[in-house]
Amino acid sequence: MNLELNPDFIKKYFRRGPRYTSYPTAVVWNESFHADDFCLSLKEADKKNEPLSLYIHIPFCHSMCYYCGCNTTITKNQDKAEKYLEHLKEEMRLVCSYLPHRRQVGQLHFGGGTPTFLNNEQFSDIMNGIHSYFQLTESAEVSVEIDPRVTSREQVYHLKNLGFNRISMGVQDFTKKVQEAIHRIQSRECVEELTSAAKECGFQSINFDLIYGLPHQTIENFHDTAKAVCVLRPDRIALFGYAHVPWKKTHQKKIDSSALPSPVERLGLLLHTSNLLQNEGYKSIGMDHFSLEDDELYQASLNRTLHRNFQGYTIKSFETLGFGVSSISFMNNSFSQNERNLSPYYSRIESGNLPVIVGHKLNNDDIIRQYVIEQLMCNFYLSYENFEKKFQIP
């Protein structure tokens, strides 16, 4: 499927809008949803006794990437992770006090920040903590995001030995000028080295993240990045658009906005790279993911059974428990989000309180719209028959 640029189309639709990784979106969550409401959601969800998805947020990074939109803490002090992990484990204990059944876990995802900021001993410690409160199913997806600049071959092997079976690398762009502009210098060689290690030790799935819309990107230089990525043959590729929001993320002010691609150039980057990846044997999944033909994501897309959560497209849909600063849970049709900064997060945990600060309980209209949006953004399809059967309305 080769798409072409249409200037009138671009002019009409080039404007900001929600990404709909959740519905309702996070901007409408509010402080009227308290930790007590989250506790009630936990109790109600526990009655189902179904497998869960766990998200663990590790906020630490050694340096700031100027394009980043994540919740991060910049430090080179490894000891800060020790205190954080102790609070993570205490948060798990507090949450599990409302879950009398030792819940099974079908998905476990470490995100950040930089999860591989943790050293091998710290990773073993937090995984032991998780196993003490939850039971991973035999088929559980256990994934981790890594920064190739701070991750070693030895650590990749250690992660595999701990039970991780999926790995995701932030590649973004190999062009030196682009890397300098976004303050993220990493070589192709280090990505190649870690990809080789992940394949050698038996990771089931390797994902690369690419970002289009960064300063100084052109179709020509991003073409070279995409071709180099295809040579390494990851199982999946996520092609994200850079969101320039310096009024929300002040470090993005260090990016020269005049060096950003224009709307036409930005869409050109997306379409050219999408076509290149498909010509190299990758199948388009949803709106911004690609996978090899034998990947289960592609099979799910053919069957119209794709789902999407905050980590991207997935073949399984579970209720989610998030742990750590800024992490998000979705339990019993309600969203909740933790404190976004370390100090208040620590204070709440130390006082024996859950660190939830905002949330939203979905009403019936929300649930209907959530279902429709997910069907469209995952499968580009909505069955009227299934809709009417599910909601008992025409």
Does 21 score more than 90 pLDDT?
A: no
Quickly state the pLDDT bin for 12 (edges 50, 70, 90).
confident
Give per-residue pLDDT as tens, 169-198.
999 999 999 999 999 999 999 999 999 999
What's the pTM value of the predicted model, to 2 decimals? 0.94
Give per-residue pLDDT as tens, 339-357.
999 999 999 999 999 999 9
Rounded to an integer, the average pLDDT of 267-289 is 94
Exposed, middle or buried by CB within 10 Å (0-12, 13-18, 19+), for 307? middle
Regarding predicted confidence, which is higher, 89 or 103?
89
58 near 109, Cβ under 8 Å?
Answer: no
Regarding predicted confidence, which is higher, 8 or 141?
141
Q: CA-CA distance, 162 to 165, in Å (whole number)?
A: 9
State which H helix or E strand residue 247 sits in: none
**pLDDT at site 1:** 45
The β-bridge partners of 74 are 61
Give per-residue pLDDT as tens, 207-218.
999 999 999 999
Which pair of structure tokens corresponds to residue 379? 């499968």
Position 265, amino acid:
E
**pLDDT at site 18:** 79
Rounded to an integer, the average pLDDT of 235-241 is 96
**pLDDT at site 3:** 55
